[in-house]
């Protein structure tokens, strides 16, 4: 049951990060066209800066769950490897618990902001007059997915600790060691036939 949920979360987060990446590419393309139009034609695409700001915020929120599941978030592991297995496990859970606490507060405040936007039917004070519920709603959707993913991962880590499955706990939320990073970075090279030695 848990593994199925985690697999679906991984798939969902991968789709979300692809959508976010597409948003960033579109924003970069739009800003580039705007710069070129200003340079050569003396005209500007109205709202390119506003839209790119919305897309950046949304794509960033969409990337958080994927970064968590791929353990791409920055970890300061000075002295971490010196602890015994149980010590590293407790530090991993403590770190993720603090992150979860912070994200819950941010998500709660974001939901309050979106509810006010919805009640007041707020629009941007720009020529586009954008209904703010659209960018804010998509943005808070990313935060909600991140919050849910944190709870799922934290539950799995605590369950693994109770059962003494430190390998599972580390795989879920442990800090990546230098050896693991090197192995991950070189795995593609080792599997690539084009890099194989030719006699």
pLDDT in the model for residue 120:
94
Bridge partners of 18, per DSSP, are none
Please name which of 134, 73, 77 lies closest in space to residue 102, comparing C-alpha atoms: 73
Name the pLDDT band for 182 (thresholds 50, 70, 90).
low
- Other beta carbons less than 10 A from residue 172's beta carbon: 24
Q: 67-96 burial, b for 16+ CB within 10 Å, e for fewer?
A: bbbebeeeeebeebeeeeeeebbebbbebb
- Other beta carbons less than 10 A from residue 139's beta carbon: 20
- On the CB side of 7, CA atoms within 13 Å amount to 4
Residue whose pair of structure tokens reads 């890099």 in the numeric block: 195
Tallying the residues shown for the chain, one arrives at: 199
pLDDT in the model for residue 199:
41
- The predicted-structure confidence for 100-142, as pLDDT tens digits, reads as follows 999 999 999 999 999 999 999 999 988 888 999 999 999 999 9
Q: What would you report as the CA-atom Rg of the chain, rounded to the nearest whole angstrom? A: 21
pLDDT in the model for residue 103:
97
- Other beta carbons less than 10 A from residue 9's beta carbon: 19
Please name which of 2, 180, 5, 158 lies closest in space to residue 89, comparing C-alpha atoms: 158
Residue 49 corresponds to which tokens in the numbers above?
């800066």
- The predicted-structure confidence for 9-46, as pLDDT tens digits, reads as follows 999 999 999 999 999 999 999 999 988 988 888 887 77
Mean of per-residue pLDDT scores for the chain: 87
Residue 86 corresponds to which tokens in the numbers above?
């149980």
């Amino acid at each position: 049951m848990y593994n199925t949920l985690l697999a679906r979360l991984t798939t969902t987060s991968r789709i979300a990060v692809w959508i976010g990446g597409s948003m960033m590419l579109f924003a970069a393309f739009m800003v580039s066209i705007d710069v070129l139009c200003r340079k050569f034609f003396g005209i500007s695409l109205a709202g390119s800066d506003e839209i790119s700001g919305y897309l950046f915020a949304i794509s960033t929120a969409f990337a958080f769950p994927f970064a968590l599941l791929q353990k791409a978030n920055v970890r300061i592991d000075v002295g971490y490897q010196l602890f015994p297995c149980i010590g590293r496990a407790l530090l991993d859970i403590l770190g993720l618990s603090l992150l979860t606490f912070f994200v819950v507060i941010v998500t709660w405040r974001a939901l309050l902001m979106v509810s006010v936007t919805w009640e007041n039917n707020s629009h941007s004070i720009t020529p586009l007059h954008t209904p703010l519920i659209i960018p804010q709603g998509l943005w808070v959707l990313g935060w909600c997915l991140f919050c849910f993913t944190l709870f799922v991962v934290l539950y799995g880590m605590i369950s693994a600790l109770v059962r003494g499955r430190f390998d599972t706990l580390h795989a879920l939320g442990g800090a990546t060691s230098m050896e693991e990073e090197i192995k991950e970075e070189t795995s593609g090279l080792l599997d690539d036939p084009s890099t194989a030695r030719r006699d």
